[in-house]
Chains A and B, each alone.
Chain A
Amino acid sequence: MRTLAIILLSSSLLLACAHSPTAIQSEGLVHETRLANGLKIIIKEDHRAPVVVSQVWYKVGSSYEYGGLTGISHVLEHMMFKGTPNHPPGDFSRLIAAQGGRENAFTARDYTAYFQQLESSRLPISFALESDRMRHLTLDEEEFAKELQVVMEERRLRTDDNPQSMLWEAFTATAWQASPYHHPIIGWMNDLEHLNVADLRHWYQTWYAPNNATLVVVGDVEPEAVIALAQQHFGPLKASTLSPPKPQQEPPQRGERRIIVKAPANLPYLLMGYKVPSLKTADAKWKPYALDVLAAVLDGGDSARLPRELVRGQQIAAGLGAGYSGSSRLDTLFTFSGTPAQGHDIAALELAIKAQIKRLQNEPVSSSELARIKAQVTAAKVYELDSVFYQAMQIGVLETVGLDWRLLEEYPQRIAAVTSDQVMAVAREYLIDDSLTVAILDPQPMDGSSASPKATSTLRH
């Protein structure tokens, strides 16, 4: 990010107040509106400290990609810092830095988001620069060639040289055959090698438009002023005609899938994933919340069942986690990931996890477990207010996967309403062998010699 601030700021002043914004819907401290070009704006007031976070969320990510183009959303995120006709490469970052700001961006399966954190009076620089790159990215050939090398280094760092990441990548690609959650967010190396600027230009033109974006602002701001500022900077941008991504629905899985990945490593690693619905795809509203409670029964704090029974009690796992997030556009996975303790193997760990699942299917969880989860959720609702960034993040994720930020407000009540019967019901419906994918890391010697017998024995099942 790098530009000439003076020109930009003065021209923006001339345009101020030229348009009247559309109606604002307010609920408590949260305000929502939409500009005529389709840009959705959500503002949450938090006057605790004189700071603001501004985030622009685009409805595009790796789950919008298809074969041969994997990783393109993330490469485009990198190129968004490489200049527009108004701002040469690097200008964006320099201008934000000159205002004392911090900035970055992130890409996931269902979204690409850009953010700045600033002292609250400095918000105009964020809107000036974000609106410019929403429609006017240069995508220079030489800059692209260098940045692609950077992304490949990022892939080597995050995935290729990390045996557990390699396993995750192969695991998701096995669990999802038709669903675009099959693709790694960073892209397959060979797809990266064959990306070109024309691909990126097409991707940018397809998805980067005000009617495919949500602007989230949280901090010490006045909502009317923020909307006027947004109107001034983003208002003139043209909307696009959007074609929503194809559904790419995953067909029902008919039987367990099991893979092995061999990589130089010292420790084996186990991943298990069951197909489950998200908040967006569930056939009954309570089910994602019941799955959240199920995950918390297993792994919500040190007193949850996995640390209590498998790490401390039976001492089968050195580390073990269960995970579920309902905030996704498509069906997702309920996962288990772990490393066996000394003297145990992957097979023993998998059996122990299966026994925990069986118990959840046959025995109602206790009222004290439900009370504990409710207390944790109530407290977390207060703790999360200690971070404006996190508050903005939660709003942005929900909006961008096609849900509603109001779900955040009702979350504690939804969790409190989950019954032990409902937890048992989702355990029985979804945690079944036929929709299970298992991935096992088979450690290979670090010095390049052939596998030791000990390493392969961990694969027996």
Chain B
Amino acid sequence: MRPALYKFLFLLIIGWSALLNAQPQIQHWQTANGGRVYFVAAHELPMVDIGLSFDAGSARDATSGTANLTASLLTEGAGQLDANAIAEHFDQLGAQINSSAGRDYASLSLRSLVDPQLLQPALDTFKLILQSPSFPANAFERERQRVLIGLQAQEQNPAALADRAFYRALYGDHPYAQPISGTTQSVGSLRREDLLQHYRQYYVADNAILTIVGDLTHTAAVEIAEQLLGQLPTGKRPAALPEVSPGDEQYIDIKHPSSQTHLLLGQPVLRRGDPDYFALYVGNHILGGSGLISRISEEVREKRGLAYSAYSYFLPMRVAGPFQLGAQTRNESAEETLQVLRATLERYRNEGPTAEELTAAKQNITGGFPLNIDSNSKIAGYLTMLAFYGLPLDYLDHFIDNINAISSEQIRSAFQRRVDPASLVTVRVGNAP
């Protein structure tokens, strides 16, 4: 066998296991210029996941689509390197790089082996992308055209159309209303300078969160944090996003030549760190968050055969993220399915879960907890979530207790206070009669 494999076996035996510990041991510090760093040592595999997140998602767009295009331009040119050179640098090392933007944050990530011959050159290029992106004019124009093609693809996809209409209706004038990739009009009007401005304002140390999960010592992690964040200007974090004002009941109908109607219902409800979070999370697990055995799936799919997928979820965000119910059904059944979704929600909101349902949900969530943190990439995901939303670092330590503490009455109360069936947004995309 090859030497690399021997090394791996050796590590398996003597390695200190981040994943076998009850919870990942999170080390946290700040760089001199204010960058927040979160590190979990995981020595079983000779690899590392490095992630940077900035409060620079589409909620910060001056023109809709800016954050998305800024993130995709980072790998298109940096320092003296063009897109080909950047891609070559990473590919030759077997390193993987990603950049993307969501509504709340933009992220840039690197996965590499920890062999210094591979990791250091990967970090050098990663650093260049982060600190000196050049936003080349030709790449800007090409990527803008590709975004426009992507928008045309969304227009032929009923699920994408429904999603865009849903956010627009829920959020009105709030920044969350805008689609992450922008609109044909807004992307058409973007200039390269808009991206530079977005980058300069938001990709700064005080607005940065760095997560590191992998086979590194604390000293090595500190060194990497300095390399990546030390040269960024301190800058400052943007002002808090505006709160979401509650909206009115709305019906949005979009004609589309599809055989199914896509249904979405919902309203803005939940931010990260909300005191009702655990009640709504466990409550929704029973309503529509636990696959085939949830109430919504039972009513829509198992009892009536109306849809392949029927669900509900709360998406907690910086400020009130959406509560959403959804299903797709043949056009003739759109009205029936909508009624079933509404009736299932209303009944659950009135009655709350049964004792048996609550016990089953707790068993499922707590019994499956080890699956949530069984890989470096899942731990990295949790780190980013905790760090970005400012949740306590012992969040995972108390997760199971927090779930077990929830009562049926708390769930009923939380749903009655937070979900208002009289002001739901309903989106229908399809060809229903």
Hey, which bits of chain A sit against chain B, CB under 8 A?
A: 2, 28, 47-51, 81, 89-90, 93-94, 97-102, 104, 117-120, 122, 145-154, 156-157, 160-163, 264-267, 300-304, 307-308, 312, 315, 318-319, 339, 341-342, 368, 371-372, 375-380, 382-383, 385-388, 443, 446-448
Partner of A382 from the list B20, B46, B328, B360 (CB cut-off 8 Å) is B46
A382 to B113, CA, bound (A): 8
A387 to B379, CA, bound (A): 12
**Which residues of B have CB within 8 Å of A163?**
156
Tell me whether A48 and B149 are in contact (CB under 8 A).
no
Tell me which of B232-240, B289-297, B315-323, B416-424 binds A: B289-297
Partner of B260 from the list A150, A161, A383 (CB cut-off 8 Å) is A161
Check A267/B113 contact, CB under 8 A, given A119-B370, A146-B305, A315-B142.
no
**Which residues of A have CB within 8 Å of B366?**
100
How near does chain B come to A411, taking the closest CB pair, in angstroms?
A: 12
How near does chain B come to A132, taking the closest CB pair, in angstroms?
A: 18
With an 8 A cutoff between CB atoms, is B222 at the interface? no
Tell me whether A446 and B257 are in contact (CB under 8 A).
yes
A104 to B149, CA, bound (A): 34
**Which residues of B have CB within 8 Å of A152?**
330
How near does chain B come to A450, taking the closest CB pair, in angstroms?
A: 13
**Chain B interface residue count, Cβ-Cβ cutoff 8 angstroms:** 81
A100-B367, A119-B368 known; 9 new pairs, CB 8 Å cut-off, are A51-B370, A97-B293, A153-B260, A156-B260, A265-B156, A266-B156, A379-B93, A387-B377, A447-B257
Tell me whether B4 and A375 are in contact (CB under 8 A).
no
Which of chain B's residues 344-378 have a Cβ closer than 8 Å to chain A?
360, 363-371, 373-377
Check A102/B92 contact, CB under 8 A, given A97-B290, A341-B145.
no
**Which residues of B have CB within 8 Å of A160?**
258-260
With an 8 A cutoff between CB atoms, is B180 at the interface? no
How near does chain B come to A386, taking the closest CB pair, in angstroms?
A: 5
A167 to B411, CA, bound (A): 46
Tell me which of B62-70, B201-209, B306-314, B387-395 binds A: B306-314
Which of chain B's residues 241-274 have a Cβ closer than 8 Å to chain A?
255-260
Tell me whether A266 and B155 are in contact (CB under 8 A).
yes
How near does chain A come to B362, taking the closest CB pair, in angstroms?
A: 10
Tell me whether B156 and A94 are in contact (CB under 8 A).
no
Partner of A300 from the list B91, B257, B329 (CB cut-off 8 Å) is B91
**Which residues of B have CB within 8 Å of A89?**
302
Tell me whether A372 and B88 are in contact (CB under 8 A).
yes
With an 8 A cutoff between CB atoms, is B94 at the interface? yes
Tell me whether A90 and B302 are in contact (CB under 8 A).
yes
Partner of B367 from the list A28, A98, A339, A342 (CB cut-off 8 Å) is A98
Tell me whether B87 and A302 are in contact (CB under 8 A).
yes
Most buried by B among A151, A302, A380, A447: A302
A157 to B12, CA, bound (A): 44
**Which residues of A have CB within 8 Å of B377?**
386-387
Nearest B residue to A381, CB-CB: B4
**Which residues of B have CB within 8 Å of A446?**
155-156, 256-257
Which of chain B's residues 130-156 have a Cβ closer than 8 Å to chain A?
139, 142, 145-146, 148-150, 152-153, 155-156
Nearest A residue to B337, CB-CB: A153
Partner of A98 from the list B5, B291, B329, B363 (CB cut-off 8 Å) is B363
- Main SS at interface, chain B: helix
How near does chain A come to B339, taking the closest CB pair, in angstroms?
A: 17
A153 to B336, CA, bound (A): 15
How near does chain A come to B404, taking the closest CB pair, in angstroms?
A: 13
Tell me whether A150 and B305 are in contact (CB under 8 A).
yes
Tell me whether B308 and A312 are in contact (CB under 8 A).
no
Tell me whether B360 and A153 are in contact (CB under 8 A).
no
**Which residues of A have CB within 8 Å of B305?**
145-150, 153
Check A161/B367 contact, CB under 8 A, given A318-B149, A341-B149, A447-B257.
no
Tell me whether A150 and B293 are in contact (CB under 8 A).
no
How near does chain B come to A414, taking the closest CB pair, in angstroms?
A: 13
Check A379/B113 contact, CB under 8 A, given A302-B87, A307-B87.
yes
Tell me whether A385 and B368 are in contact (CB under 8 A).
no
Nearest A residue to B152, CB-CB: A266
**Which residues of A have CB within 8 Å of B146?**
318-319, 341
How near does chain B come to A89, taking the closest CB pair, in angstroms?
A: 8
With an 8 A cutoff between CB atoms, is B55 at the interface? no
Tell me whether A385 and B45 are in contact (CB under 8 A).
yes
Tell me whether A97 and B156 are in contact (CB under 8 A).
no
With an 8 A cutoff between CB atoms, is B304 at the interface? yes
A307 to B150, CA, bound (A): 16
A selection of 21 A-B contacts at a CB cut-off of 8 Å is: A2-B293, A47-B20, A49-B17, A49-B374, A100-B367, A101-B367, A102-B368, A118-B368, A150-B308, A151-B308, A162-B157, A301-B87, A301-B91, A303-B87, A312-B139, A319-B146, A341-B146, A342-B145, A371-B92, A378-B94, A379-B112
Most buried by A among B94, B290, B306: B94
With an 8 A cutoff between CB atoms, is B19 at the interface? yes
A375 to B111, CA, bound (A): 14
A202 to B139, CA, bound (A): 58
A396 to B157, CA, bound (A): 33
